[in-house]
Structure 1
Amino acid sequence: MALQLTRMFPTAFRDRRVYRGKEGEKIVLRPATREDAPELTKRLARVVKEGIYLDENPDNLPTHREKRDEIREIHRNKGMYTVVEVEGKIAGAAMLRRGSKGISDHTAKFRTWLVPGYRGMGLGKKLMEYTIDWAHANGLEKINLDVWSSNDRAIQLYKKYGFRVEGRLRRQAILQGQYVDEVFMSLFL
């Protein structure tokens, strides 16, 4: 019965949050809009170009139109696509894509990224808190993610918020000349 009550009566959730950073900068977390697509595409390309955080090919990144369609599709499927802005510029994003309708839509796959120059500002923590609050308010029971084993900072952040390792694919990628594992983690809400 508790499961149904959670889904019937979601908890209150503020989808726009404003903070001040360590240096007084204005930080805003809010749902992504179609108008964000060009800046999101540009910023994502910068992260992918680093070649150490995301498993994507720079030559196959989405166009602005494809990014607009992705934002619309995630929202239409009752998922979350959130941006974090610092002084009006997109510094990163977080997404929750729900599982298959009727089968695994009580779960969601989490993905996040931050642009170089905006890391170490506490934005990852803000995105994580926002994401977990959103998941509670929208009846999710489990959040899943995968992360490279070399990304210690992210793994420690996820563990701090209660994520646990569920498995790993050993030597799944070569980053900067070294084999790394793909680590699968989850949080039961």
Structure 2
Amino acid sequence: MEIIFSRDCDYEKIYLHLLECKDNFVPPLNERVELRDFAKKIHDNAITFCAIDNHNLVGLVSCYFNNGAYGFINHVSVLSKYKRLGIAIRLMEMCIDYALENSYSLLCLEVDSDNKAAIVLYTKVGFEIKDNNSNCIEMNKAINLEGLD
């Protein structure tokens, strides 16, 4: 196994990845979105951070970067057999680095309050809970731009 990390994810790989990992979400991803439409939206509108093994997309983080001020992470996933290898952390760090390099001051995301594993992951990479309602937790990470020229 040789994981390659990149920012080049094509539509078909994104769709197949979403299809394979849909049941890893709380609630399952296909109960919230139509997977083909979601794959197209990610491909066309988001900056993607990808983990690839043997030409297969095994991990994905996608983020919408808006108006030069903040980014909104709308998707994080790793295929089951690739979990616990540090892939999600690496992809999140790539997203954080992109935000820093492009002078974004904040990253935001929302996570289902029952998705404890995701909450732990986001906390490990520096996200803090901003708002916690009954079903959804909003988390933010301030990007420190001081000292950059």
Task: Give yes or no for TM over 0.5.
Answer: yes
Change (3 A) 1:51 1:155: closer
Return closer, same or farther for 1:97/1:69 CA change in 2, 3 Å cut-off. closer
2:20 — aligned with what? 46
Q: How many angstroms apart in 2 are the aligned matches of 1:57 and 1:95?
A: 19
CA RMSD of aligned residues (A): 2.3
Secondary structure of 2:114's aligned partner: coil
Identity %, equivalent residues = 18
| Correspondence 1:188 to 2:146 | no
Secondary structure of 1:113's partner? strand
Whether 1:32 aligns to 2:4 is no
| 1:85 equivalent in alignment to 2:52 | yes
> For structure 1, which runs of at least 5 residues remain unmatched after alignment?
1-24, 75-79, 171-180
Q: Extract unaligned runs of 5+ from structure 2.
A: 144-149
1:185 Cα deviation from its structure 2 partner = 0.3
Is 1:141 aligned to 2:133, yes or no? Answer: no
> Cα gap change, 1:31/1:58 in structure 2, threshold over 3 Å: closer, same or farther?
same
Instruction: Report deviation, 1:183.
Output: 0.9
Paired residues, number: 142
Q: TM-score, normalised by structure 2?
A: 0.81
Superposition TM-score, scaled by structure 1 size: 0.66
Query: Partners in 2 of 1:58 and 1:50 — Cα distance?
Result: 13
Tell me which residue corresponds to 2:79: 115
Rg larger in 1 or in 2? 1
Once the 2 structures are TM-superposed, how far is the Cα of residue 107 of structure 1 from its aligned partner? Answer: 0.7
- On the 8 A contact 2:49/2:60 being kept in 1, the answer is yes
The yes-or-no answer on 1:97 pairing with 2:51 is no
